[in-house]
Amino acid sequence: MATLRYLEHVEFTSLFLKEWFEEAERFLRVHDKTLSILALMKIVQLPTEHLPLVFRNEGALQYLMKAMLTFFKTLPEAQKRILAFLFVWH
C-alpha cells in the first residue's frame, strides 16, 4: 500500500501500470509472473478508500483483472520452460 501511495504522490501510477503491462510479455520467468499476480491480487483486494484515484472506477479494476488473467494464462508456459531447463541440466 505504501508503494501505491508513493506512486500516487509523485503522479506516476498510470505510467507505471502502462509500462508494467506493456512489458508483461517479456516476463518469461515463473518468478516474474507469480510476483505480478500476487501484486495485482493485493491491489484488487484493497478497500476502495485505500486505492489510488486511478483505480477507483470499474474500468480500472477490469483492466487489472485482465492483466492478472494474462499472467495466469502464460504461467504454465513459464513452468514448462523451467522444467525443461532443469531436465537438461540434470
pLDDT for residue 58 is more than 70 = yes
Cell, residue 14: 498510470
3-state secondary structure (DSSP) of residue 34: helix
Domain limits for position 16: 2-89
pLDDT category at 90 given cuts 50, 70, 90 is: low
Look at the chain and report how many structural domains it folds into.
1
Mean pLDDT of 43-54: 87
CA 44 to chain centre: 11
Q: Which residues of 66-79 are buried (b: 16+ CB within 10 A; e: fewer)?
A: ebbebbeeebeebe
